[in-house]
Structures are given as C-alpha cells and as structure tokens.
Structure 1
C-alpha cells in the first residue's frame, strides 16, 4: 500500500515528461502576428508548432509535418537541439527506471534501492527544469529580438508539470523510505528486547 502513491505519481510524471518531450509545442508562433509582414506575403496565415524532433505547419487547408532532416542546414539544427534532447531523454529514462523499481520494490528490500529512486527522481526533475528554463529563456530572447509573437508553449508546460510531479514523487518515496526505516528499527528493538528478556527472565 505504501508504494502505490509514489508509483502512481511516478507514472503521471513519466506521462507528462514524454508528452512534453515528444509534442511539437516547444515553440509555437503564428505568422499572422509577425511584425513587418504584409497580409499578401506567402507565409501569412500559417501556424508553426516546433518540437524537439519535428515541426508541424498548419494552414487553412493543409497540415505539414517535417523532421529537421528535411531542412537546409539540418546538421546545425540538430546540434543546437542536441543538448535539450539529452536532458529531456535523461529525465524520461530515469523516471521510467524509478517507476519500475518502485513497483518491484518490497519491504524486505534494501534501503539503497529507495535512495537510488530518490536520487533518480531528483536528477530527472532537475534535468528537465534545466532544459525547459534554458529553452524558454532563448525563445523569449529570440521572440523579442526578431519580432515573433510566441503562442503558448504547451510542451514546456507539460515538461514543467512532469518535473514537478517528479519532485512530488521523490517526496513520497522519501516518506516511504523513512517509514520503512522506522518500522525496521521498531522490529529490531522488539527482537533485542525479546532476547534480553529471554536471557534474563524475571523471577
């Protein structure tokens, strides 16, 4: 029963991290709101959703999905996105491992497993927050500098929620660790007291 709460929160964190990483909402902008572009200009009326793996362009009568390999200078794009990809993938992998270990953990298991789970959740949340924070800072700078009006970056919101739930799960696992440690100490004390009473029976 103790592990259900951190396990369920861990699943929620994992789903949010995956949704944030693989959805095309890291940078969303509408060409209608470009400064200096006339309404007759060809890109007018297109909404672009940019993710870490692909880009989606949506117009009035079309929807185009393209990977970064389809663009010119794709190697530069991939290199610039690589650090963010590494950080979010680290968060997802560590969160997945933590969820599996939480489900398979038994009361008889060692405390080191729970400590490892706690550390992995901390790293997962921190790595995701770093990626989101640096990306958001860069997007804000680019939006202000180039006159691009940014729409709601829903992928960043999902990733942030995933990082927050990673922190919540870490707290739940920490409480479970403290509770199990206290229970074991009580059992050890009871065993020790029983041994003492056996060796020195009352008269």
Structure 2
C-alpha cells in the first residue's frame, strides 16, 4: 500500500447470493477500482462475489492483494494469480492484514463472515482505533435492514448517535466511488 494509491478493502460473500444484481455490482466495482487505478484488498477467494470483484479488477489491470487463512484455501479456492497473495494461520490474522493494508472499507452483500468483518471494523472505529471510511454497497436494498438495526441500537441507547454516521451507504457503484473519492485523502 502506497500513500499515492488508494487501497480499498472489500468484504463480500463467498457465494453469489440470490439476485443477479449482486454479481453485477461486484463486477462493476472491480471494473471501477481498476479504472480508478486503485488497489483491491480482499479475502483472496475465487468464488462468489469475492471471485467476481477480483477477476474483474484484474482484467482491468488493478493491483490485487488477497489474504486467505490456510483452512479456507480449498473451500474458497484461493486465487493465487493475484499481485500479492498472503496465506495466514487464522481468520483473525486475515482480517488484521486486510484492514492494515487498506485506506477504506467497502462491504458488499454477504453472509455471516461479511457481517463479522463489518462489525469488527465498525467497533474499532467506534472505539477510536481508526478513522477509515466504511461503506455499505446497498445493492437492491440488501443492507437496509442492517442500517435499520444500527439506528435501533442508537435509539435504544446502546450506542451514541455518532455510530450511524460512521457508516456511509451507497445504493450503486457510481455513488460508492463518488463517496470514496470524497472520503479518501487527496
């Protein structure tokens, strides 16, 4: 990661999900990252949305940095033809390496793993451990219930109102890229 090249950590599903729009958005994001000249940092899988964003970013000439724990090499089909491919011992190491090598975090639709990654970086931001921008790509309203849950947590007094402002929501890739450009240092 260099100061002049933004590195975007993408958390997303190791499956395509139930709507074609999810796969289309992952591919659109990969293309947009390459077009912007930005680096993709992700979980190094070649399946699901992970594989789609990576293959599309690679096809566009983007620098790709993948991090995968040893126990997921076979299950997530570790994509070894990346610019950089790191194998860790644990999931915790994976998340740390991905986070430390990124300037911003983007969360596409995904399952429990994506939620785990999202809540970890959100908690760290809430605790003042970082100030990296966090974006949810809300393809076809996928994350709308999550945004409602965060608002509910605040409304019920379990977090300060500032928690909701620590997450930006973009409904499509052009809005996401515009938000990232505005959030990243010049």
TM-score normalized with structure 1 length? 0.25
Point out which structure has higher relative CO (alpha carbons under 8 A, 6+ apart): 1
Q: Whose Rg is larger?
A: 1
TM-score normalized with structure 2 length? 0.27
- Structure having the larger proportion of residues in helix: 1
